[in-house]
Chains A and B, each alone.
Chain A
Amino acid sequence: MKLIRALEPLWWMLFGAGGFMAAFFLPALLFVLAFAFPLGWFGDSTETFLRFKQLFANAIGKTLLILVISLTFWHAAHHLRHFAIDLGFQDVQGPVSHLLYGGALVGTLASIAIIGAL
């Protein structure tokens, strides 16, 4: 917990940056991937597949996606940590914080691996 406390500004900055990434990019990305693409509004599955790869399977596209996804994980971890305290789990906030930030780290590594393979 001491280490977590010592790095509070870091968690908060990740939370802030992640919040902006999530707010700016996630609604549109979700709309396209979960509605427009499956329902064929932007072309059939082959067209959308090629277009998605054209847009994101390059250095800039991958970097952007990795930043959006990983920073969102850090944002969620920090927010849920505070949520847990608000719900009355303040006595276990040490393990909870480790679990949540650890999860964000796993999410970040997974993002790099998965998006990197595009």
Chain B
Amino acid sequence: MAEAPETTLVKFEVFRFGPEQGPGEHWQTYEVPCPPDWVVLDALNYIKDEIDPTLSHRWSCRMGVCGSCGMMINGTPELTCKAFVRDLPQPIRVAPLANFPVVRDLVVELDSFVSKLQSVKPWIIRKVERELEHGEYLQSPDDLDNFKQFSMCINCCLCYAACPVLAHEPEFIGPAALALGFRYNQDSRDEGEAERFETIAGDDGVWNCSYANECSEVCPKNVDPAAAVNRAKLTSALHWTRLLPMRGAK
């Protein structure tokens, strides 16, 4: 039988907030025996299972693809399933994502994000749907390169938690949603650029971005939303000056 791995006692300071805990937030300290290969999510699950069942947090795949477990770790938005305990200075402070209202403990309300995603119409828009007998759409590797990286977003909202603009303008549509809108605008199958223009280039759209680049710095999937948003500024400006027609414009 394999030996149990050696554990180190690691100090965690965890943000707590909840209706039964009184007004405002407070920090609770936990000491967790962590084997060397643990990530912060393992420690949070241990806290819930063995120490304090009242702690609430979101998680799912525990391997960096579902986007559920994003939290502030020592002030930086990260996926807790990708943050190794051994790499972090103690005490490890875990807090809910910034720029979102907190429902309870480490769980934030993401309704605003969901509606922002919907607002950019993230689906292929065609002026006239293609008949089945015309066969499939053909795309070259270059066609795919134009938008592929922006389709890798897992909606983890780390970019929203890092964005200094969102902190002051909560109506800003934000990096992930704008990158997704741009992804569809750049897709050769799509003809919806004109339909998305009012949202992407509107009052809450790309013009609010101040190019801090923080969104791209924290993105766990290398989507580079800052590139998408700022390229969308260029295309939007060219559309506005009529120098570049929009696909799908009437």
Chain A positions within 8 Å of B, measured between CB atoms, are 5, 8-9, 12-13, 82-83, 85-86, 88, 90
| Min CB–CB distance A84 → chain B (angstroms) | 10
| Min CB–CB distance A21 → chain B (angstroms) | 17
Chain B interface residue count, Cβ-Cβ cutoff 8 angstroms: 14
| Min CB–CB distance B132 → chain A (angstroms) | 40
B169 interface contact, C-beta 8 A: yes
B240 interface contact, C-beta 8 A: yes
B165 interface contact, C-beta 8 A: yes
- CB-defined interface of B131-173 with A at 8 Å, one 1/0 digit per residue? 0000000000000000000000000000000001100110000
Task: Say whether A90 contacts B169, CB under 8 Å.
Answer: yes
**A residues within 8 A CB of B237?**
9, 12-13
| Min CB–CB distance B88 → chain A (angstroms) | 28
Chain B positions within 8 Å of A, measured between CB atoms, are 164-165, 168-169, 201, 203, 207, 210, 212, 233, 236-237, 240-241
| Min CB–CB distance B167 → chain A (angstroms) | 8
Could you tell me the distance between the alpha carbons of A88 and B236 in the complex, rounded to whole angstroms?
A: 27
**A residues within 8 A CB of B203?**
5
Task: Say whether B207 contacts A88, CB under 8 Å.
Answer: no
Can you give 18 A-B contacts (C-beta < 8 A)?
A5-B203, A8-B201, A8-B207, A9-B201, A9-B233, A9-B236, A9-B237, A12-B207, A12-B237, A13-B241, A83-B210, A85-B165, A85-B169, A85-B210, A86-B165, A86-B168, A88-B168, A90-B169
When A9-B201, A9-B236 are in contact, do A86 and B164 touch as well, CB less than 8 Å?
Answer: yes
Task: Say whether A82 contacts B168, CB under 8 Å.
Answer: no
Secondary structure dominating the interface of B: helix
Across chains A and B, which 8 residue pairs bring their CB atoms closest together, nearest first? A82-B210, A8-B207, A9-B240, A9-B237, A90-B168, A86-B164, A13-B237, A85-B168
CB-based nearest A residue for B241: A9
Could you tell me the distance between the alpha carbons of A12 and B209 in the complex, rounded to whole angstroms?
A: 11
**B residues within 8 A CB of A88?**
168
Could you tell me the distance between the alpha carbons of A86 and B240 in the complex, rounded to whole angstroms?
A: 26
CB-based nearest A residue for B203: A5
CB-based nearest B residue for A91: B168
| Min CB–CB distance B230 → chain A (angstroms) | 10
Could you tell me the distance between the alpha carbons of A88 and B210 in the complex, rounded to whole angstroms?
A: 13
CB-based nearest A residue for B240: A9
Partner among B210, B233, B241 whose Cβ is within 8 Å of the Cβ of A86: B210
